[in-house]
Structure 1
Amino acid sequence: MTESELLYQLALSKIPRVGSKIAKHLISYCGSAEGVFKSKRGQLKNIPGIGGYLVQAITSFSEFDKAEIELTKAFEAGVDVLYFTHPEYPKRLKHIHDAPMIIYTRGLKKFNEDKVVAIVGTRSATKYGKHYTESLIEQIQGFKPVIVSGLALGIDITAHQAALANGLNTISVMANGIDMIYPAEHRGIARKIEDHGSLVTEYPMGTKPETHYFPMRNRIIAGLSDAVIVIEAAERGGALITAELANAYNREVFALPGDYDRKFSTGCNQLIKHHKANILTSIDDLVYYLNWDQNAPYTPYNDPMPSIPVDDLEPEEKNVVELLQKQLDGIHIDELSWQTHININKIAGILLNLEFKGLVKPLPGKKYQINRKFVR
């Protein structure tokens, strides 16, 4: 992918009402983010579901200079900007319906490891909650999970520190720009996290933390993980939002039970009572529900099978897939266009759509290859 295409991708993310779903829809018809902006008004109007407001917003967009400045700031700070289609974009996160179009990250990018677990809880953690967090991470150290949390006070920072102390990679998801560490006293830990994991945010450089950014941040915490563990939580709070989101994303949720009269056990107890979390009594609960096997060899995370089988593809998509199945080392886009009798611009959109669905992967030199593990 060229830097020019990344600029257009970033610009597309700046258009109001264009989220990841609409962006993918636009790109599948136009072939690329650059193609979206270079399409004529009439062409955009003919795209199903794209109304007059979006057509006007796209054709009148003029803030490419601001997007370029934003990219320059990120690159100068050693920050990677990953669009939804980037090969290093977290695979688990890609599968949630409201995944961010773009994430900013700095560090090792340990997103696709075999085991990834989020640990969250109240900012006003008790000594018991902190001790349990440290003990839990020490006990699961042998399974080598990546620990995800939010760099906040209380349980979050305890989870990051315990992960680092036990030689585990850890990911911090922030509700602000990577250059605006919040709270400020966690800057030292953030630097260590970069060396042993990643800082992640969907917000550009210079973005200050705002109250409404934190619930949005929580969906990334849940989306990156196989499971969310809530250690302590009051009746309301960000940890419960993360648990609710994890349930919506079909992630496992665990909660540490506590005495009924303890304020920061109320949220956990309610999650368990309403069957929104598995009760966490020991490490054995995690091992059982997550099917961990300490003796199993390490394998990187693989995408689950897509929900759309080949037989349910559009006719032109199916035609492309069938051709690629016959030539497993890949076919050049021009050859695909010639064999399918589909013009080059349209075939580019079809291939991108198949890439989104996980059926096709691009190769160097404008070749495309079937992703055999996804074909049914």
Structure 2
Amino acid sequence: MNITDLRYILALQRAPNLGDRTAKKLIARLGSAAAIFKEKRQNLLKIEGIGALKLKGLLDPANFEAAEKEIEFIQNEQLETHYFLDDNYPEKLKHCHDSPILLFSKGNIQLNNRRIISIVGTRKITSAGKAFVEQFIEELSPLNPIIVSGFAYGVDIAAHRAAIDHNLQTIGCLAHGFDQIYPKVHARYVDEVLKNGGFFSDFWSSDKFDRNNFLKRNRIIAGLSEATVVIESAEKGGSLVTADIANSYNREVFAVPGRPGDKYSKGCNNLIKSNNAHLLSSAADLVYMLGWKLEEEIKPIQQQLFVDLDEEEQLIYDHLKEKGKSQLDTIALYCDFPTFKAASILLNMELKGVIRPLPGKLFEAI
């Protein structure tokens, strides 16, 4: 993107009381950000949603003065810009009606991998919640997903760190500009995230830090990913807002259940109870629901001559050897396992290289 175009786009983004949806409407109507500022005032006023107040804010020269300063910051910090009509804009975010017209990034983000999940939850993560995050990401690691979160306390930073531990790409969505890091204590993780992915933000360096920024940031977390996973949440919280946004985007939402009396299980339990989230007990549940297949993106695992199978795995393996191809529900019925448990065992067996998934939710022994 050239500097002239960026200047107009930034001035449009900075216009007060306008918002991303109205900005996109103006661009669709007039063809570009530059064309908006060159259009006659009376013609702009004829566009639905553009009143005198919004027009005054749009044409304020201060927007261009601010844009010039932000361009200098972008260049100094070597940020990458992502305009919503350009190829480098995150594909899944393009389909969100309220996504930002311009996004900033830093790091080594590669979005060619379409397996992207967001992990969110309470900032006051419990030891059980932390253990679940670590095990969940470890189980997913052979499928090489991108892990998105908000770089905040609790579940967020646990997800980022677990992703780094397993050499997975991870993306932090910031609720502020790139002139700062919040919380400050997480500055020690910045370099690792930059090496293993990076950061996205639609906030400027001049934006004041505000609690409402977190709610605005949540649409980026939900919009980037194929699915949002809520690990732990109180009855109210930002992670539930992210889940609501993900549902509004028609994305899959998963929640980890907990005991009814636990404070940080209430939010997840309510999501499941109201059918606003799938119950998530292990990585296998997500893999099954999203239709991920191990062999699509990693080299096939060569079957070992002697593979240790536990009693449950051996039961499934013997069934597949006898019956040939079999569906998940049939396997669960024959082996007398709940479906979610059968799915989890099958994933482990797939990783051992003794079975393979087939189209139509079929499995066969190798």
Paired position in structure 2 for 1:347: none
Quote how far apart the aligned CAs of 1:65 are.
1.9
For residues 136-194 of structure 1, give each alpha carbon's deviation from its aligned partner in whole angstroms, at most 9, with x where no partner exists: 00000011100000111111100000000000000000111122111111112122111
Report the alpha carbon displacement of residue 247 of structure 1 after superposing the two structures with TM: 0.8
Letter in 2 for 1:76: N
| Aligned counterparts, 1:1-376, within 5 A | 1-297=1-297
Counterpart-to-counterpart distance in 2, 1:119 and 1:228: 6
TM-score (norm 2): 0.78
RMSD after superposition: 1.6
Deviations 1:188-238 (CA, angstroms, capped at 9, x unpaired)? 212211111121111112545311111111111000110011111111111
Unaligned residue ranges in structure 2 (runs of 5+): 299-366
- Bigger Cα displacement from structure 2, 76-85 vs 148-157: 76-85
Task: Note closer, same or farther for the CA distance 1:48–1:272 as it changes in structure 2 (3 Å cut).
Answer: closer
TM-aligned CA distance change 1:16 to 1:75, over 3 Å: same
Partners of 1:185 and 1:59 lie apart in 2 by 40
Q: TM-score, normalised by structure 1?
A: 0.76
Q: Tell me, what secondary structure is at the counterpart of 2:136?
A: helix
**Letter of the structure 1 residue corresponding to residue 173 of structure 2:** V
Distance (whole Å) between structure 2 residues aligned to residue 28 and residue 260 of structure 1: 49
Q: Deviations over 1:28-65 (max 9, x none)?
A: 33332111111122332344443333333334444312
Determine helix, strand or coil for the equivalent of 1:5.
helix
1: distance between equivalents of 2:206 and 2:10? 16
Residue 18 of structure 1: CA displacement?
Answer: 2.1
Partners of 1:256 and 1:268 within 8 A in 2: yes
The separation in 1 between residues aligned to 2:235 and 2:112, in whole angstroms, is: 33
Determine the C-alpha separation between the residues in 2 that align with 1:246 and 1:79.
Answer: 27
Q: Distance in 1 between matches of 2:72 and 2:201?
A: 17
- Between the aligned partners of 1:184 and 1:74, the Cα distance in structure 2 is 21
Say which SS state the counterpart of residue 106 (structure 2) adopts. strand
2-side partners of 1:270 and 1:128: how far apart?
A: 19
- 3-state SS of the aligned residue for 1:295? helix
Q: Shift in Å at residue 127 of structure 1?
A: 0.7
Aligned partners of 1:47 and 1:263: how far apart in 2? 49
Q: Deviations over 1:262-295 (max 9, x none)?
A: 1111111111111111001122211111110001
- Distance in 2, matches of 1:112 and 1:15, equals 32
Contact 2:17-2:57 at 8 Å conserved across structures = no
8 Å CA contact 1:8–1:33 kept in 2: the answer is yes
Q: Distance in 2 between matches of 1:49 and 1:242?
A: 27
SS in 1 for 2:294: coil
- Max Rg structure: 2
Check the 8 A contact 2:147/2:160 in 1, yes or no. yes
1-side partners of 2:269 and 2:62: how far apart?
A: 51
Share of identical aligned residues, percent? 42
- Note if contact 1:190-1:199 (Cα within 8 Å) is conserved in structure 2: no
| Compared CA separation, residues 63 and 16, structure 1 to 2 (3 A) | closer
AA at the equivalent of 1:55: L
**Count of residues in correspondence between the two structures:** 298
Query: How many Å separate the matches in 1 of 2:213 and 2:140?
Result: 31
Q: Which has the higher contact order (CA 8 A, sep 6+)?
A: 1
Report the AA paired with residue 121 of structure 2.
Answer: G
Pair 1:2–1:257, CA change in 2 (3 A) = same
**Secondary structure at 2:104 match in 1:** strand
Distance 2:62 2:40 in 1: 15
Equivalent residue, structure 2, for 1:353: none
How far, CA to CA, are the matches of 2:163 and 2:16 in structure 1? 38
Cα–Cα, structure 1 residues 204 and 253, in superposed 2: closer, same or farther, change >3 Å? same
Q: 1:277 to 1:194 in 2, by over 3 A?
A: same
Structure 1 gap segments, 5+ residues each: 299-376
1:108 maps to amino acid: N
Distance in 1, Cα, partners of 2:114 & 2:213: 29
Partners in 2 of 1:171 and 1:26 — Cα distance? 30
Asked if structure 1 preserves the Cα contact closer than 8 Å seen for 2:16 and 2:58, the reply is no
The answer to whether the 8 Å contact 2:143/2:297 transfers is no
1:51 counterpart letter in structure 2: G
